[in-house]
Structure 1
């Protein structure tokens, strides 16, 4: 058992606080990781505001990189001293999705079984089963993906959630191909990840859509060939005009709202693909003419975590980063201390940052 500092949310909407947390020694299949960096993701804000569930208090943070400190019995894939990115979908290998060769859809992902607690013994609910706004965290060993130790932790740690979700929405879910036209609606961290993924995949035209001119400029930096300000222009008409009147081959919706999903649906070409990677809230509903769903053909897909397989995708993407072919550094707007998370949430609301990253 160790006592370390970490960031918790005690109740809905309450400011987060840094406090002392007890981290158990790793049991069978578990690992303790010394966290080096952790990105501040919108999902953490959702947890604090009660938008995920009400299992307070939460230990926030999940977009992390660090060094394995100790491992429990039976752990063979990672060892003390390994540099790892944490992931929130440690696949089981035995469920029906895994046995069908689709482990990125694993229905029985692993987390640590022992709880981390406050000093009075109150168990904490770790965000996405990780909880990484903390000096050391306890996770399932399968949540640790070993990567090149010379990579910059603040940059590659972002593959743990938002950037991977966007990259994977383009490459894995949308299966963007060479010469395709792609539109991305919503250009925050996930949307810009999708822009970067479309560029990596060889898309000929990448249209970024947002209402914030700053975000559109960021998207250009990641590879957007065209931008559309949805406050000034109808994005469906603009995307169609930029694609010869047809619509894009793949449209990635990175907002998670019915209005923007409808835009994505009508902005795609016949037999095109819509990918929903933005996360809706529980009360949202969608209404579309069923004849349009039938008549336009193609595919309507949802992307879970970019349909990634961490053991396959994280090392590959880190290698591309090290080669200078994937600019993960550009996602890092600022580096902050552990007690800077609340201020980072405020900057997220105003759109001043792409990613704030806690550096421990």
Structure 2
């Protein structure tokens, strides 16, 4: 039977406050799962969606923890009562035989609210089974909600997209929830040095708790020069080497997207190729890259979406990192809000008041 739920609705008119509405979640379709949620992350990328023009109401959120209350007849990997995470990356796209479906939800006034792949700003959600990942029931259900986006995106970019190895140098531009997850992964693989770049001394100090070895305040110094100085050395033939082996942009603004390429290590002709710049943050503008630097130093500029992760494979690994103390999710989650406080949560995120990651608790 349908399930009562309270969901956050982003109105059709841009700029209007978000509202919480009571709705009825329909019985799941053949490939759908209904999840009663414990907690959901509040992701910075959703600010872009809130401010983007639209032609209908939308429902947001894409990382959460919860318990299955109903499943469709074709769903076999979870059952009622299972603890799960809801995410926005297909859990096993490599072996999928069908494209996952999105969900549109009818509101009380009869209008249709659109979603992207999943929605988690709700105490109950319904999602295609490809966005629902079974987890062991022994983990905490609040802070682990951020694994489905922040951790996957940041840590996965280091671990999978870049494939950082022990002893390689890493610079991370932007140390919010995604950047801190990237730093934690760099620590797990024994990268050195691990350089955090931000505009706020408090956030840089916070990044040290997750594994950063150095902090660079880009409001006071040139971060490219600082990174080059921290990584400067010579090779066996005496040629100068400077810059990070991997430079990650976890923000997505034009300035940082353009800074990570010159911050990456230079190449030495006939000896070694240059470093790699990795774009992790959601871009909002075009960029201009120095093609000469890219060519002469044989550098790479990569994109990383969802940390190149496969949730069925990787969420268990991130939970293990948490259990073993390598990923401090208790520290990463710095603010908690109730569903009726969603406008306060969005304002806090937009105004830079969230040091790590915020969550909604249901």
What secondary structure, in the 3-state scheme, does the structure 2 residue paired with 1:232 have? coil
The partner residue of 2:276 within 273, 276, 296 is 273
Q: How does 1:112-151 map to 2 (within 5 A)?
A: 112=102, 115-126=104-115, 128-151=116-139
How far did residue 91 of structure 1 move? Answer: 5.5
Match of 1:7 in 2: 8
Is contact 2:246–2:276 with CA below 8 Å preserved after alignment? yes
Match of 2:81 in 1: 81
The structure 1 segments of at least 4 consecutive aligned residues displaced by more than 3 Å after TM superposition are: none
Match of 2:314 in 1: 313
Structure 1 pair 343/252, CA: closer, same or farther in 2 (3 Å)? same
Match of 2:48 in 1: 46
Q: How does 1:205-354 map to 2 (within 5 A)?
A: 205-244=193-232, 246-269=242-265, 270=267, 271-281=274-284, 284-353=285-354, 354=356
Match of 2:271 in 1: none
Bigger Rg, which one: 2
Query: RMSD in angstroms over aligned alpha carbons?
Result: 1.8
Number of aligned pairs? 344
Q: Distance in 2 between matches of 1:139 and 1:336?
A: 23
| Unmatched segments (≥5 aa) in structure 2 | 233-240, 268-273
TM-score normalised according to structure 1 size:
0.91
How far did residue 109 of structure 1 move? Answer: 4.9
Q: Distance in 1 between matches of 2:359 and 2:72?
A: 29
Q: Distance in 1 between matches of 2:45 and 2:56?
A: 15
Q: Distance in 2 between matches of 1:333 and 1:132?
A: 19
| Unmatched segments (≥5 aa) in structure 1 | none
Is contact 1:168–1:305 with CA below 8 Å preserved after alignment? yes
Q: Distance in 2 between matches of 1:91 and 1:55?
A: 30
Q: Distance in 2 between matches of 1:287 and 1:82?
A: 48
Structure 1 pair 258/334, CA: closer, same or farther in 2 (3 Å)? closer
The C-alpha deviation readout for 1:99-130, integer Å capped at 9, x for no partner, is: 7xxx9xx9x851345x321023322112x421
Structure 1 pair 334/266, CA: closer, same or farther in 2 (3 Å)? same
Q: How does 1:126-205 map to 2 (within 5 A)?
A: 126=115, 128-205=116-193
